[in-house]
Amino acid sequence: MIVKLRNPSREVEFRGPMSAAKLMNQLQLNRESVLLVRNGTLVPGDAMLDESDVIEVRPVISGGFA
């Protein structure tokens, strides 16, 4: 699978299927600070990812009224 990351922008390849949680561990990312997106759809932590998937890792951005 291809994983697209930002800050710095880069692509990382992983072989074989794996859970979203395992991918987060492999990338050493905190699940609360990023979102995983596959084909424009958010990926839950218990989802299985396929070797052919392209996954985008997006930072969580919060804000509100000032």
Written as tens digits, the pLDDT of the chain (66 aa) is: 999 998 889 999 999 899 999 999 999 998 889 999 999 999 998 999 999 999 999 998 877 676
Structural domain includes residue 34: yes
- Using CA atoms, how far apart are residues 37 and 55, in angstroms rounded to an integer? 6
Q: What is the CATH number of the domain that holds 7?
A: 3.10.20.30
The pTM for the full model equals: 0.84
**31 contacts: CB under 8 Å, gap ≥ 6:** 21, 24, 45
Q: List the domain range (segments joined by +) for residue 32.
A: 2-59
Structural domain includes residue 66: no
Q: Residues 48, 17: contact at Cβ < 8 Å?
A: yes
Structural domain includes residue 25: yes
Structural domain includes residue 64: no
The number of distinct structural domains making up the chain is 1
